[in-house]
A and B are shown apart, each in its own frame.
Chain A
Amino acid sequence: MTTAVLDAPAASAAQSVAARMKPVSRSADTLFRWLCLGMAVGVLALVVLVGWQLWSGAQSAIHKFGVGFLTRSAWDPVQGEFGALPFIYGTLVSSLLGLAIATPLAVGTAIFLTELAPNWLRQPIAFLTEMLAAIPSVILGLWAIFIMLPLLPRYLFPFLKKTLGFLPLFQGPTYSAYSMIAAAIIIAIMILPIITSVSREILRSVPDLQREAAYGLGATRWEVTRIAVLSYAKKGIFGAMILGLGRALGETMAVTMVIGNTPKIAASLFQPGYTLASVIANEFAEATTDDYRNALIAVGLVLFGVTVVINLLARLLLKFGNTQTGAVH
């Protein structure tokens, strides 16, 4: 065979090559294509599935309680009273407070990583922030219960009372460490990585030309950052915040473990609260009556709706924030 091929003119080699190849078959191609298409459509179907399952599950609760479900503050499953307001309040307050704590830290870190830090330090720190994102929520919750919580009434609460005590937010008894503030701190830790890394991407996408122009005017490092970089990246950083907010609203385990799980609306941040996600986590498995379960599914629907809207908003901000500033004159 060897000699035959080597000696023979190309024509016979071509003949043997062609004869050995399998004939072209369209069916395998079509099959694979449809298989892949099915999977891609499956992802879209999953979106529909989530929405539909929550919607249909929440139907009876919506019928029974109407809009009042969102505005009533009584949550008493034994009496059959279901009002989601305390959870909405708790979710909003803890998330916004967490966001308020996390944003300056995250943006500061992002600026440090892209503009100020020496080169050798950038990768390691960025890596560590990404690793922070990898810590499972339940582990952070465990750490918070046993390490962080005992410290709060001893150091943080008295300090806050002393400095900010004139605000109703920081008044009232401070005996329990399970509180809105504890939840906010945990949420802040959990959303730091995402705000940092998205802000960092945004800052990195600012063209170097901008920086060079500012340096050329004799600006200092910080002035370059403020004038050339931050003003350019404002919208994007706002998008990063909104993305962080979306994540904060859905945080479940660690928050459930430290927020105290009390369906009451209290003015003081030292008081325990409850969030949409944590009421589902705590009570769903024990929801024995249909009403109870449907009310919890309705809570899930609210959570789902809010996070979807927030995420879409963040997506828009990140997309258009960037293209608009990109086209700056």
Chain B
Amino acid sequence: MSAPSASKSYPGQVSEGLRRWRKGKSALVTFLCCICAVIVVTPLALVFGYLVFKGAGSLNWDFFTKLPAPVGEVGGGIVHAIVGSMILVTLAALIGVPVGVLGALYLTEYSGPRFASCVRLGADILNGVPSIVWGIVAYAILVLPHGSPFSVGHFSAIAGAIALAFIMIPLILRTTEEVLLLVPNGYREAALALGIARWKISARIVAKTALRGILTGVLLAVARVAGETAPLLFTALGNSGWSQSLKEPIAALPLQIFTYAISPYDDWHRQAWAAALVLLLFVLGLNVSLRFFTRERVSAQPKADSDKPTAADAVVATVATRGAAVQVQ
């Protein structure tokens, strides 16, 4: 290309210098963008690296099986917080999953387009609500004495679980809706033509076809609320020991990390790192394994169109951006 330009000039020809400058600029921008990408992924590496570095040494049998030692003493564990988190997340899922999944089924299987977009807008608004605000709402309903007919009157596991459920509902609704929309209409028509009742088509054919995607969405939502701290601060409150009932304050892993992190005790800091490592391994582990699990299944399917976004892609994108990426397509 450069050889003829040296021998003969023609209209519209660009000079060698300009061409080189343009190429150089392009290379520079490529380099800068590459640096950006490196900077963006660095925090993940740093956080993960430090957690392993500072937390792994404290992971031992006691840590997973014992209650905290009295303030000032060294040792003890956080079994109550791990169990507490499990209880809170399970309760939240028990409330959030049916609402989210059935609501999404209504949108894709029954609703008209206007109502559907109305609910979708509502869910998107809810997805944008800061998680701390959900804490206030759960507090007003369940903690504040006489706040509502359902009020427990004090901090409780129920209030914490409800706050987490509020976060899960719009998230699960949106991800489930996404995957239900990916179920081809041909299946619905084929089932209808067999004289199968609509509700059975929804539950046993459409939802079942999308089951993997729905489950992925649910588990990603679980991973997200498992790490939520803000909505638990004044609902579940935290607890330094076991709680006897769901109407009592309950410990949770993120709350424990927060309490330990801002405390003045070195041993608590050490445990905060360890607890954070446990939580991060759970959250990232769930994210990573869901990713790889769904990928593998998709590629194993015959005739899968690799260009088309898979159900898993849709779900991950929706969760990662809390419903926002959906409008982009």
Direct contact of A and B (CB under 8 A): yes
A residues in contact (CB < 8 Å) with B: 21, 24-25, 28-29, 31-33, 35-44, 46-47, 49-50, 53-54, 57, 104-109, 111-113, 116-117, 125, 127-143, 145-147, 189, 192-194, 196-198, 201-202, 205, 220-223, 225, 236, 243, 246-247, 249-253, 257, 277, 280-281, 284-285, 296-297, 300, 303-304, 307-308, 310-312, 314-315, 318-319, 322
Q: How far is the CA of A133 from the CA of B319 in the complex (A)?
A: 10
Question: Which residue of A is nearest B121, CB measured?
Answer: A315
Q: How far is the CA of A315 from the CA of B325 in the complex (A)?
A: 10
* A to B CB contacts below 8 Å, 23 in the list: A29-B198, A33-B199, A37-B106, A39-B98, A40-B104, A40-B119, A43-B119, A50-B134, A54-B136, A128-B44, A135-B44, A135-B227, A136-B280, A137-B229, A146-B261, A146-B269, A192-B40, A194-B322, A220-B25, A221-B30, A251-B130, A253-B230, A284-B139
Q: How far is the CA of A40 from the CA of B122 in the complex (A)?
A: 10
B126 touches A47 (CB 8 A): yes
Interface flag for B51 (CB, 8 Å): yes
Instruction: Write the nearest CB–CB distance from A12 to chain B, whole angstroms.
Output: 20
Interface flag for B324 (CB, 8 Å): yes
B124 touches A315 (CB 8 A): yes
Q: Is the interface of B mostly helix, strand, loop or mixed?
A: helix
B40 touches A297 (CB 8 A): no
8 Å CB contact of A220 from B22, B224, B233:
B22
Smallest CB-CB A-B distances: 5 pairs: A250-B130, A136-B227, A108-B36, A32-B199, A311-B128
Interface flag for B47 (CB, 8 Å): yes
Question: Which residue of B is nearest A204, CB measured?
Answer: B328
Contacts of A310 in B (CB 8 A): 128
8 Å CB contact of A281 from B100, B106, B233, B237:
B233
Q: How far is the CA of A24 from the CA of B197 in the complex (A)?
A: 7
With A194-B324, A252-B229 known, 17 other A-B pairs at CB within 8 A are A33-B198, A40-B102, A40-B106, A46-B122, A111-B33, A112-B36, A136-B280, A138-B227, A138-B258, A139-B276, A142-B261, A147-B50, A189-B43, A277-B130, A308-B125, A311-B128, A318-B327
Contacts of A39 in B (CB 8 A): 98-100, 102-103, 106
A315-B327 contact in complex given A284-B135, A284-B136, A304-B133, C-beta closer than 8 Å: yes
Contacts of B197 in A (CB 8 A): 24-25, 28-29
B227 touches A139 (CB 8 A): yes
Contacts of B298 in A (CB 8 A): none
A36-B269 contact in complex given A250-B132, A318-B324, C-beta closer than 8 Å: no
Q: How far is the CA of A147 from the CA of B52 in the complex (A)?
A: 13
A138-B229 contact in complex given A105-B40, A202-B328, C-beta closer than 8 Å: yes
A131-B328 contact in complex given A50-B133, A137-B229, C-beta closer than 8 Å: no
Q: How far is the CA of A248 from the CA of B262 in the complex (A)?
A: 22
A300 touches B328 (CB 8 A): no
B125 touches A108 (CB 8 A): no
Interface flag for B223 (CB, 8 Å): yes
Question: Which residue of B is nearest A296, CB measured?
Answer: B136
Question: Which residue of A is nearest B320, CB measured?
Answer: A130
Question: Which residue of A is nearest B12, CB measured?
Answer: A218
8 Å CB contact of A116 from B30, B115, B280, B324:
B30
* A-B contacts, CB under 8 A, total: 310
A131-B136 contact in complex given A43-B126, A44-B118, C-beta closer than 8 Å: no
B residues contacting the other copy or chain, number (CB 8 A): 103
Instruction: Write the nearest CB–CB distance from B64 to chain A, whole angstroms.
Output: 18
Contacts of B300 in A (CB 8 A): none
Contacts of A106 in B (CB 8 A): 36, 40
Instruction: Write the nearest CB–CB distance from B197 to chain A, whole angstroms.
Output: 5
Interface flag for B111 (CB, 8 Å): yes
Question: Which residue of A is nearest B177, CB measured?
Answer: A40
Contacts of A308 in B (CB 8 A): 125, 128-129
A131-B132 contact in complex given A28-B197, A139-B280, C-beta closer than 8 Å: no
Indicate the member of A113, A135, A196 with the most B CB atoms within 10 Å.
Answer: A135
Interface flag for B46 (CB, 8 Å): yes
Contacts of B50 in A (CB 8 A): 143, 146-147
Question: Which residue of A is nearest B231, CB measured?
Answer: A252
A129-B41 contact in complex given A40-B111, A43-B173, A50-B129, C-beta closer than 8 Å: yes
A43-B103 contact in complex given A142-B257, A311-B128, C-beta closer than 8 Å: yes
Question: Which residue of A is nearest B128, CB measured?
Answer: A311
Question: Which residue of B is nearest A30, CB measured?
Answer: B199
Q: How far is the CA of A43 from the CA of B166 in the complex (A)?
A: 9
Indicate the member of B44, B51, B166 with the most A CB atoms within 10 Å.
Answer: B44
Contacts of A311 in B (CB 8 A): 124-125, 128
A116 touches B109 (CB 8 A): no
Interface flag for B217 (CB, 8 Å): no
Instruction: Write the nearest CB–CB distance from B251 to chain A, whole angstroms.
Output: 14
Contacts of A193 in B (CB 8 A): 40, 320
Instruction: Write the nearest CB–CB distance from B87 to chain A, whole angstroms.
Output: 18
Q: How far is the CA of A41 from the CA of B124 in the complex (A)?
A: 14
A277-B230 contact in complex given A43-B173, A250-B131, A308-B128, C-beta closer than 8 Å: yes
Q: How far is the CA of A304 from the CA of B132 in the complex (A)?
A: 10
